Structure 1
Amino acid sequence: MELLAYLTEGNVANFLLLLLRFAGIIAFFPFFENQLIIAQLKGALIFFLTIFFIPMLDVIPPADWTILRFIVAGLSEIMLGFLASMALQIVFGMISFGGELISFAMGLTIANAYDPVTGAQKPIVGQLLTLLALLVMLGLDYHHLFFYFVGESVKEIPLGGFMYAQNYIEYIVKSFSHLFVIGLTMSFPIIALILLSDIIFGMIMKAHPQFNLLAIGFPVKIAIAFAVLIVIVPAIILHFKREFLSAFDALTILFQKSF
């Protein structure tokens, strides 16, 4: 009987909107949108998160809600998860773009492998850097930061009342413009050395036409690129760590401008 008494129109509306909020966050946030995580597990996580956080909410007066308003409120909850994930996805885009440039410079663009995170084909160097970034992200207690963001969103942003912040949109546009610059910066040492090796091989072929570039030059370029990659990986990961924490700090703009 207590359960039936709790199933009022306001409580049901609260539950459904909160469920949509968590669905939007789980569907778009890095790591949780991994294709290897089965849909049943994601659905169970969304359901239990909703149950755990619903006591933090106030009951919505049922007279204030119409079908149209409820649909708009549900779309705003999904938009919250999408916009919040954009900043974090752009940081991973920097790593992926840098890895693709490195693979192109090494001549390994054709050597693609299945990426279990996105479910698409990626160059092996880009996939390696992305997996390293995921490990670093978990080492930074990303799962704790995720639940902190969920809790703060429930406390600071009323259900159905989310409105995007102009400052946050400007941050997303600026971050997207930096994606290519930072990706190129990460891959520049390898690209520069491979370009230098191409110049040297060209000079050798000019002096010795019998020099077989395909048999000797190609493996040497790959060896040089891997040697430099081993040296610069700590710097790439350190840069990723700084950009990732900065992107997570930017999510607080959503709480400040959502009312």
Structure 2
Amino acid sequence: MIEVVNLLLPLIGALWWPFCRIMAMLSTAPVIGDVLVPIPVRALLAMALSFMMLPLTKGGAMPDPFSLAGVVAMFEQAIIGGVIGFALQLTMAVVNMLGFLASSQVGYSMAQMNDPVNGQQSDVVSGLLGLVAMLVFFAVDGHLVLVGVIGQSFHAWPVGGGWNPLLLQAVALNVGWVFSAAVLLALPIVFSTMVVQIGFGFLNRVAPSLNLFSLGFSLVTIFGLMMLVQVVRFVPEHYVQMTNQVLEMLQQQMRSRS
């Protein structure tokens, strides 16, 4: 019995470190880290990927999982996986913010509905754009990209070798890019609704007796929806470009580490 435990202990240790990193990445990654994916499913995926990552992780200096160094290494793996998943979540955050900006301009932000993906209430436009982003994620094999990135991370940041704080700094600096990208995508909708509202402001000065509030709200909604139809056509292309930008940022951090 003791011999069996001695034989299995190195295998368990070799699986534990990839499991910590992959589980943290799957918990923060787009689509897979949503509430709709149960935690047991993520754990099974992380365990299956841990077996696949054994050729990349074995042979290194593995710390003892039951020591203080093992606890520190576990937190290091969770930080690396969580930051990688959060970096890929930035593109999804751009699409969600675009939905909130568009709905606030069109007037749909007053109508809230239960969003099972995020576990909270959201507007219809954000839900629609979120579904578009999910379809594009699987259409461009985003799930395979996640596996490729996490596999390359074991070369850049091996188990027990620490992690580069510049990775967290680079991801934090890209949060501002999320706001700028969402504003640029929502700019046509904002500009069209602003033009309509300015036109009704001049019309109200000419004919103050007209009830332009009820008519203006409907026209703003119509013009906003017309511009939203044009913007949605370009969302998949911009989503792919933003994903490539995030992947290039991760590649730069991996090259600087290696």
With the length of structure 2 as denominator, give the TM-score of the two structures.
0.88
Aligned residue identity for 2:146: F
Q: Which amino acid aligns with 1:182?
A: A
Between the aligned partners of 2:221 and 2:4, the Cα distance in structure 1 is 65
Q: In 2, Cα distance between the equivalents of 1:62 and 1:170?
A: 27
Task: Please say if 1:158 is aligned against 2:161.
Answer: no
Q: Which residue of 1 aligns with 2:134?
A: 134
> Which residue identity is paired with 2:238?
H
Query: What is the CA–CA distance in structure 2 between the aligned matches of 1:170 and 1:68, rounded to whole Å?
Result: 26
Query: Where do 5+ consecutive residues of structure 2 fail to align?
Result: none
| Secondary structure in 2 matching 1:145 | helix
1:251 and 2:247 aligned:
no
Deviation of residue 83 (structure 1)? 1.2
Q: Quick one: distance in 2 between partners of 1:143 and 1:36?
A: 16
- Structure 1 residues 241, 60: closer, same or farther in 2, change over 3 A? closer
Query: SS in structure 2 opposite 1:36?
Result: coil
What are the equivalent positions in structure 2 for 1:43-192 lying under 5 Å apart? 43-59=43-59, 67-166=67-166, 168-192=167-191
Helix, strand or coil for the counterpart of 2:110? Answer: coil
Which string of whole-angstrom CA distances, capped at 9 and with x for unpartnered residues, describes residues 38-76 of structure 1? 222112111222223224432566787761100000000
Q: Which residue of 1 aligns with 2:204?
A: 205
Task: Tell me the amino acid that sits aligned with residue 211 of structure 2.
Answer: N
| 1:255 aligned partner, one-letter code | M
Report how many aligned residue pairs link the two structures: 257
Preserved CA contact (<8 Å) 1:14 1:159? no
Give the counterpart letter for 1:24 in structure 2.
Answer: A
Q: Is residue 11–residue 60 contact of structure 1 (8 Å, CA) maintained in 2?
A: no
Cα contact 2:61–2:159 (8 A) shared by 1 = no
How far is the alpha carbon of 1:107 from its aligned partner?
Answer: 1.8
Give the drift of 1:115: 2.6
Residues 179-211 of structure 1, C-alpha deviation per residue, up to 9 Å, x if partnerless? 222211111111111111111112222222232
TM superposition shift of 1:165: 4.5
Mapped pair 1:6 → 2:4: no
Aligned-CA RMSD value: 2.4
TM-score (norm 1): 0.88
Assess if the C-alpha contact under 8 Å between 2:56 and 2:151 holds in 1: no
- Deviation of the 1:254 alpha carbon: 4.2
CA contact (8 A) 1:161 1:258 kept: no
